């Protein structure tokens, strides 16, 4: 029997609740809904670091961030550290990457035999600084955590939208070539996208589909209640304190929903190509994202927190046998578990050094065999360098902040994380147990020193690269200039 193919679609910054299959009352995602009807959805999937580069490094290596050393966007996976793509390649699969994976350094493949399109922007020498101007033009100053990024939002176009369309085109071309070749070699195809990552700009039709449906939110500081000191600090540093006015909030939210529309169309195109191919009945399809987007929850946008909007990700797995089609699992899983699971499904040995585990037992409806726990880490040199670690077990989420108070939430009882139980004496024993798990094989003092040293190293490397920038190892994907603009909204 022919070995099964695998197509994995990874978006960037997709809030886990913002698809109609997850019950969102406004957003419509017909393609993701169709995939969910054919596969198993995970309501408690997490990233292992709420930042693009470190999250994807954990996903690729199956190792925790403190194990693979990738703790910032400008750090690279060691070229001698294997990924699940290496394991598939050696097992006889054609391994293909189309689009974004945030690889840094000269190795822009990490086990992928083919790379159809490079990153956005090119990330090999990111220590020298993001080359965003060539992609985003006048929207370069719109990081989603800043007030500027919130104000410059609405209907229009961005280079990120153009990039995603190029990724889909390259992906469809590859699938068509496979169809015509009649090759019996199995393939692993990963399609990496930027949407729905800020800037908060979407195509006009997508924007106006939702604009009248999005209510004006309470944007007062009082609505936030008492906040953890870290989130107070983060909001001030990111520039979202005080809260933007309600109309800006509404415009950003509307644009984000439109960006999700755009991402859903890319999923639709890939699913249609597979459905109309000769490998339709022999292909596993996965949809997920590298982290979430807080979209104003707790007065924050962007990511880099352990709140559900940031740390949670959508995850749908559809296998050829359609096991558990249309069902939802509440088990806690993470991105770093996906690689081991796919290898397990393909009867390939685990990647050496990977510490993540396969959740195939969940796909087989034997959830009692799963450990039901997830760890995540967080730091952001330049904004905050104090290490943080999260531990999720069942409905309980414990967040450890080095030199700051911890947090404890029961997500089943308190999905919006309004009731911090860290000071509840009833939870004292639970907190003691969960803190012990957090500190097991993870030393926050040593991590703080490692983060400080690594930041100094990368600053020096970046200064050197600026003096003599080497050529990118992968070709550019776009033709400059790209269209970046925002239309005025009619009054």
Q: What is the pLDDT along the chain (491 residues), one digit of tens a residue?
A: 578 999 999 999 999 999 999 999 999 999 999 999 999 999 999 999 999 999 999 999 999 999 999 998 888 999 999 999 999 999 999 999 999 999 988 889 999 999 999 888 776 676 656 677 778 888 888 877 788 889 999 999 999 999 999 999 999 999 999 999 989 999 999 999 999 999 999 999 999 999 999 999 888 888 888 899 999 988 888 878 888 899 999 999 999 999 999 999 999 999 999 999 999 999 999 999 999 999 999 999 999 999 999 999 999 999 999 989 999 999 999 999 999 999 999 999 999 999 999 999 999 999 999 999 999 999 876 666 689 999 999 999 999 999 899 999 999 999 999 999 999 999 999 999 999 999 999 999 999 888 888 888 888 988 888 887 667 666 556 655 578 889 888 86
Return the half-sphere exposure (C-beta side, CA atoms, 13 A cut-off) of residue 387: 19
CATH number of 5-363: 3.40.720.10
- Angle, CA of 469, 473 and 475, to the nearest 5°: 105
CA pair distance 151, 204, nearest whole angstrom: 17
Say what the pLDDT of residue 239 is. Answer: 79
Say what the pLDDT of residue 410 is. Answer: 99
Say what the pLDDT of residue 242 is. Answer: 84
CA pair distance 313, 455, nearest whole angstrom: 28
Say what the pLDDT of residue 480 is. Answer: 57
Say what the pLDDT of residue 123 is. Answer: 67
CA pair distance 53, 475, nearest whole angstrom: 20
Q: Which residues lie closer than 8 Å to 99 by C-beta, 6 or more apart?
A: 116, 117, 119, 120, 163, 164, 167, 170, 171, 191, 192, 193
Strand-pairing partners, residue 201, are 154
Judged by DSSP in three states, 188 sits in: strand
Strand-pairing partners, residue 249, are none
Beta strands in 259-346 (DSSP E): 283-289, 312-313, 315-318, 328-329, 333-334
Say what the pLDDT of residue 382 is. Answer: 64
Say what the pLDDT of residue 490 is. Answer: 81
Say what the pLDDT of residue 2 is. Answer: 73
* Domain map (residue ranges) of the chain: 5-363
Give 110-151 as a DSSP string. Answer: TT-SEEEE--SS--TTGGG----HHHHGGGTT--TTSHHHHH
């Amino acid at each position: 029997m022919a070995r099964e193919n695998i197509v994995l679609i990874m978006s960037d910054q997709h809030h886990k609740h913002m698809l109609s299959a997850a019950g969102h009352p406004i957003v419509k995602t017909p393609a993701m809904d169709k995939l969910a009807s054919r596969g198993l959805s995970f309501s408690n999937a997490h990233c292992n670091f709420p930042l693009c580069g470190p999250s994807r490094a954990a996903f690729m290596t199956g190792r925790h961030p403190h194990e693979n050393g990738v703790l910032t966007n400008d750090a690279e996976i060691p070229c001698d550290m294997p990924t699940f793509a290496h394991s598939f390649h050696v097992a006889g699969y054609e391994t293909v990457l189309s689009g974004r994976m945030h690889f840094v350094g000269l190795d822009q493949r990490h086990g992928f035999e083919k790379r159809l399109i490079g990153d956005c922007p090119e990330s090999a020498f990111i220590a020298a600084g993001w080359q965003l101007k060539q992609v985003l033009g006048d929207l370069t100053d719109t990081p989603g955590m800043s007030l500027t990024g919130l104000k410059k939002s609405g209907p229009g176009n961005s280079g990120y939208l153009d990039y995603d369309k190029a990724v889909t085109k390259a992906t469809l071309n590859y699938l068509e070539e496979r169809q015509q070749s009649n090759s019996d070699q199995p393939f692993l195809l990963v399609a990496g996208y930027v949407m729905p990552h800020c800037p908060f700009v979407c195509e006009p039709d997508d924007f106006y589909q939702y604009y009248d449906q999005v209510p004006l939110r309470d944007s007062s500081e009082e609505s936030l209640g008492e906040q953890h000191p870290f989130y107070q600090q983060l909001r001030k540093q990111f520039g979202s304190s005080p809260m933007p006015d309600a109309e800006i909030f509404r415009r950003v939210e509307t644009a984000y929903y439109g960006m999700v529309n755009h991402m859903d169309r890319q999923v639709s195109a890939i699913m249609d190509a597979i459905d109309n191919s000769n490998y339709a009945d022999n292909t596993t399809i996965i949809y997920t994202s590298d982290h979430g987007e807080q979209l104003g929850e707790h007065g924050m946008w962007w990511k880099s927190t352990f709140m559900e909007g940031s740390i949670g990700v959508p995850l749908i797995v559809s296998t050829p046998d359609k096991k558990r089609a249309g069902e939802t699992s509440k088990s806690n899983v993470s991105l770093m578990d996906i690689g081991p699971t796919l290898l397990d499904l393909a009867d390939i040995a685990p990647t050496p050094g990977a510490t993540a585990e396969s959740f195939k037992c969940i796909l087989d409806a034997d959830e009692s065999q799963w450990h039901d726990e997830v760890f995540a880490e967080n730091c952001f040199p330049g904004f905050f360098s104090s290490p943080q670690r999260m531990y999720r077990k069942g409905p309980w989420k414990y967040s450890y902040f080095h030199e700051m108070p911890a947090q404890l939430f029961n997500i089943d009882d308190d999905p919006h994380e309004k009731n911090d139980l860290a000071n509840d004496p009833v939870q004292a024993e639970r907190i003691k147990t969960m803190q012990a798990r957090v500190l097991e094989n993870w030393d926050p003092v040593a991590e703080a020193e490692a983060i400080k040293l690594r930041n100094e190293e990368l600053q020096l490397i970046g200064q050197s690269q600026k003096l003599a920038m080497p050529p990118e190892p992968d070709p550019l994907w776009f033709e400059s200039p790209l269209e970046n603009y925002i239309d005025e909204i009619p009054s």
